[in-house]
Structure 1
């Protein structure tokens, strides 16, 4: 909740991206040459709930947390962007920051955006983490998704509520509802099959938004993907299990040993 004030090694900055003043929270991290990690938030929220994961990763990586247009501290466009427009904006953000190929993590609706970027801009994405990716075709409607989120709220830590309320207030409820409509119209499967980067599909064991059948199907669709399930966690696994998620990212980015001749 500290932004734009510096806190826990994180600072805020704004850049003009595609005509919109876009806010980014940044952890400088060590200068080890490790690939930067970009964390993309989900529907109706912002960089705020990703802060614990950013802090956990900042010991080994530079970490960037952009607020998508209309959310957090970024400028509000006239309407609510769909997945394609958010992906185009995120690709423009990557170009503006002139980063080397990044590890891109998207959570929930942010996973839809991240998958679209990885599919259309493969040179910009070194590795991909799809955390709690929406939306399961078995519940691809506003009613279906909202019902699953209601169940998830009963499984989440209640201390997350102030962050959620603040983010919805910043975005405005109409934008959250319109973005949900865009999410359920987006067939993420079409992007998953085009992803060429090494990928981890990561979910909480108790996530009702991404049940077992859907997380296994999403993993199968990506040509080079592994599934990581965090015991005891629900949908907001990136907030409630940041150390476990950070370790999964480090493992994904670790150099692979060269094959040996026998």
Structure 2
């Protein structure tokens, strides 16, 4: 099923403005309110708090919301290769009105401890499985964005018992540009299409991770054939794209949707690669629609 959603983003859950962060911006945009929220951790902000737990020997940071108490599946958001929980906080806040939301920092990124090596897709997926065990979670709705979608797809393929539903947002990497140079070139084009205020987050995240880790993670990404995992996914799956995303062009979008059995697709107008950041209301609505059958909707 293919859906195209449009229209202005909502204002998110009650209390967003009261917390001093303002209203969320329109699709494809990212304003001062979102920037302040993204950079707040580990301080509490707008109902989001930080926790640190030892997972596989690493002090692992998680940004999380309160449980709204509706008995619904938790949603876990997995970030991309050069970033962290920070850019996913607008989506976390928007979803928190209806679902408990967790945004862990992968090993070496954000506020999580930095191991001496850069993890590949398999090691990140194993760490994520251990993280779920540490929190006593599963099965969950698992959203992965960009490189995070590769990690989420691997976990869904290897451990279907842990994944109630899967959301792949802007999944990498397109076989037509499966090289460091090819992906970097597309990313440069994307920077011209993204809201400029996302730049301080990216700079902070790259500083935290160290450039060598970002480069090594990119190498792991382009060597990972996500197709082998996609065909093994059994969980209900949603694939989300921004219609202005040069990292995930139309041909690769169609291929991803064909590879995942019975996947739904949603294309968000006016959004580029960081669709989960700049169109949180649209992405949250699509996730709720995916989960609605489990809720009797």
Aligned to 1:197: 235
Deviation at 1:257, TM superposition (A): 9.7
Preserved contact between residue 72 and residue 295 of structure 2 (Cα < 8 Å): no
Aligned to 1:147: 185
Shift of 1:255: 1.7
1:12 to 44, 47, 50: 50
2:281 aligned residue: 243
Structure 1 residue 144 displacement after superposition: 0.2
Q: Secondary structure at the match of 2:219?
A: helix
Quick check: 1:197–1:224 contact (8 Å CA) kept in 2? no
Shift of residue 223 of structure 1? Answer: 1.1
Match of 1:97 in 2: 135
Q: Deviations over 1:79-104 (max 9, x none)?
A: 10000000000011111111131000
Quote the residue 1:252 is aligned against.
Answer: 290
State the match for 1:188 in structure 2.
Answer: 226
In the TM superposition, what is the alpha-carbon distance from 1:117 to its structure 2 partner?
Answer: 0.3
Runs of 4+ in 1 over 3 A off after TM superposition: none
**For 1:111-149, what per-residue CA distance to the aligned partner results, in whole angstroms no more than 9, with x for missing partners?**
000000000010110000000000000000000000000
Structure 2 spans left out of the alignment, 5+ residues: 1-38
2:97 aligned with 1:59: yes
Q: How does 1:68-147 map to 2 (within 5 A)?
A: 68-147=106-185
DSSP 3-state at the match of 2:150: helix
**Cα displacement (A) at 1:29:** 3.2
Once the two structures are superposed, residues 38-64 of structure 1 have per-residue CA deviations (whole angstroms, 9 ceiling, x without a partner) of: 000001100000000000000000000
Deviations 1:152-202, CA, capped at 9 Å, x for gaps: 000000010001000000000110000000000000000000000000110
Flag structure 1 segments of 5+ consecutive residues without an equivalent.
none
Separation (CA, whole Å) in 2 of partners of 1:120 and 1:18? 18
Q: Aligned with 1:126: secondary structure?
A: strand
Q: Larger relative CO (CA 8 A, sep 6+): 1 or 2?
A: 2
Aligned residues, how many? 258
Query: What is the DSSP-based 3-state SS (H/G/I as helix, E as strand, rest coil) of the residue aligned with 2:49?
Result: strand
Deviation at 1:256, TM superposition (A): 6.5
Over aligned residue pairs, what C-alpha RMSD do you find? Answer: 1.1
Matched residue, 2:3: none
Partner of 1:38: 76
1:196–1:224 CA contact under 8 A, matched in 2: no
Q: How far apart are the structure 2 equivalents of 1:143 and 1:226?
A: 31
User: Distance between the aligned counterparts of 1:17 and 1:224, measured in 2?
Assistant: 34
Normalising by the residue count of structure 2, what TM-score does the alignment of the two structures yield? 0.86
Tell whether 2:256 aligns with 1:218. Answer: yes
| Cα distance in 2 for residues equivalent to 1:93 and 1:83 | 15
CA contact (8 A) 2:51 2:62 kept: yes
